[in-house]
Amino acid sequence: MPNLSLVPPQPKPPLSLLQPEFQPLLSTFNELNRDIRAAGVPVLELSLLEKRIVVSIDDVDLIARRFAHEIRSQSSKTEGGMTCHSVQIRGIYVSWFSLVKEQDQ
């Protein structure tokens, strides 16, 4: 009979200024934030802990044109009436939200 493990996964430790990966992450995050703003895209929200920059859905085409060669992945997640779309650029998630569309019946 197989064993069932009920031990929860270990939580990740909070990001600390003393961790060696913090400085490169902060540098990359700030550089991408500056490059997005320099491309004429207003940033709506910044979250270093989530490694996420949120932009408006209206600016997605500009992000796609300016950073197309740096986009590494794309994902979408729907919760409630909103879908969060994300692409990964330089290891940072650039996200935007859209309303869920109902299918015509």
The per-residue pLDDT for range 26-46, each reduced to its tens digit, is 999 999 999 999 999 999 999
Q: Residue 13: its pLDDT value, please?
A: 67
Considering only residues 40 and 21, tell me which one the structure prediction assigns the higher pLDDT: 40
Q: For tokens 């994902």, what's the residue?
A: 75
pTM: 0.79
Rounded percentage of the chain residues whose pLDDT exceeds 70? 83
Query: Which amino acid does the sequence have at 64?
Result: A
Ramachandran quadrant class, 73 (left: phi over 0; alpha: psi -120 to 50; beta: rest): beta
